[in-house]
Amino acid sequence: MKTTFTLRDFSIASAEAFDQKQVLIVIRDSSELPSLFATPVLIQAIDTAKKPDQKVFIIEAQYEWIDKLIILRINSDEPLAHQVAETARTLSGSLGIFVGKSLDCDEAIFGLALGVYTFKQYLTEPQEYFTYELIQNPHLISTELLTKIQSIYLARDLVNMPPNDKNPQKLANIIQELPWKNTRVKILETAELERLWFGMLLAVAKWSDIPAYVVVFERYLTDGTPPECAIIGKWVTFDAGGLQIKPDKGMLDMKTDMAGAAATIATFWYLDQCNVKKTVVGAIGLVENLLGGSAFKPLDIVRAQNGLTVEIHHTDAEGRLVLGDLASYISEIYTPKTMVSIATLTGACMHALGYNYAGLVSEDTALADRLKSAANCTHESVWQLPLDTFMMKGTHATIADRKNLTSDMMAGASMGAAFISQFVKNPTKYAHLDIAGPSYRNKPRGIFPSEGTGFGTEILVEYVIS
């Protein structure tokens, strides 16, 4: 099957000399100006500008060989990458970049690349893409950095794609056709999922002409040795809410309900391209939550992958059904030491934490701390929310073992994780990341553009490699 998806080619060319008409100079103060531009007037302008109000200086039509010089004076208020990204977002065309000695060049390049990201593949008018050249020492740019950028681009592209081009079947094809180097990618089709009793996941997908899939990623697994890490992600191509259909506005963002799985795929892409030799397994559940004559209903009772019966109390609480089956399957078959689920799981988490934090929910202090430290090494932030046995008990139903919603308990983000965590088999330690807020924005901030942000990729990569 043909899809319109191609992996974005991202490269930074090396340049021996300035052959760009536009140059971005990133410095901490005027002493770092390249001598070529260090005129007394410019030095004075930079030094006397009021902090932090003025930090961008634009010089046009002053030099014969350069049309536009953009000087960004970094301040200490915000991480470097965010500041470069904010400035880069205002630019277009091709660009050379020069980074002052006192600054982290990788961070500046990362900010530049993520700041200029756009998603224009669907416009029929031919688009001009941004190109960059690193003016000094191109060898500073590592494969790891370029791959990190490319992986985040991949996650963003997947989130921004329209739902009709990323349904479970098309996405399974897209994944299969990516040029994986050292990752084992297994596609489980519906018949196999039925045989393996993915009853909750299949209940969500049941309405549809498009079948459900589960994609499993394996890296460096040897028989009998439990993998260090596992990641499971929610791919709901479109979440209309099922029979308990979402109201008008609530549905408009729901092509992004696959962002958790997008971050999972992007993470495996990074591990693959950089050949990271950690034992790790991943799985994503691919479904659409629509409605139709054969749709699952409130009060249906379905059988989960691990045998528990689950009463459906809300057809719009579908993510936990998909992740619950993935959680029991992966923990049973692979017994990973730790497992992280990542999903756009609840509006409640977005209301609690806004767009800048993912909700982190775990009963295991060591794993929660590890994810917090992982986040601290990235540009992404997490905030821990509680999970306790009272919440777990709140998911117990009367005529079935569990229910997928407890309407009288509030604490929606925690309750979602409370449900999923009961499908994780001992001794796997488990944590959940709810990225409903930070995965999709209506306003850009720092390295995060509006719309798909690729959030989660950085934390997950760090979780695996740390």
Residues that bind Mn ion (CB under 5 A): 239, 316, 318
Residue 1 · residue 170 · CB < 8 Å: yes
Task: Verify binding: residue 412, Zn ion, rule CB under 5 A.
Answer: no
Sign, CA dihedral 269-272-278-284, equals: positive
Which residue is closest to ligand BES by CB? 347
Q: Work out how close the CB of 278 gets to ligand BES at its nearest, in angstroms, rounded to a whole number.
A: 30
User: Does the CA dihedral 1-321-421-373 come out positive or negative?
Assistant: positive
Shortest CB 394 distance to ligand BES, Å: 13
Residue 163 within binding range of Zn ion, rule CB under 5 A: no
Nearer to Zn ion, 199 or 319 (CB): 319
Enumerate binding residues for ligand BES (CB under 6 A).
Answer: 239, 253, 257, 314, 316-319, 344-348, 350, 405, 412, 436
Residue 441 annotated to the active site = no
Nearer Cβ to ligand BES (86/253) = 253
- Residues 311/402, Cβ–Cβ less than 8 Å: yes
Q: Which member of 28, 246, 303, 425 is catalytic? A: 246
User: Any catalytic annotation for residue 246?
Assistant: yes
> How many residues line the site for Zn ion (CB under 5 A)?
4
Nearest to 148 by CA among 174, 113, 182: 113
Least CB distance to ligand BES at residue 234 (A): 8
Per-residue tokens: 337: 């030491």
Residue 53: strand pairing partners: none
SS3 16: coil
Q: How far apart are CA 395 and CA 183, in angstroms?
A: 36
Helix H or strand E segment including 229:
strand 229-239
Q: Using CB positions, name the residue nearest to Zn ion.
A: 239
Catalytic residue among 73, 156, 170, 320: 320
| Contact with Zn ion (CB under 5 A) among 115, 319, 452, 456 | 319
Stretch that binds Zn ion, among 122-130, 228-236, 329-337, 381-389 (CB under 5 A): 228-236
- CB contact at 8 A, 242 and 176: no
Tally of residues, the chain: 466
Closest CA to 295 of 384, 407, 203: 203
Minimal distance, residue 241 CB to Mn ion, in Å: 6
Closest CA to 310 of 204, 189, 431, 409: 204
The stretch near Zn ion (CB under 5 A) out of 83-91, 238-246, 271-279, 356-364 is: 238-246
Residues serving a catalytic function are 246, 320
Per CB under 5 A, residues contacting Zn ion are 236, 239, 257, 319
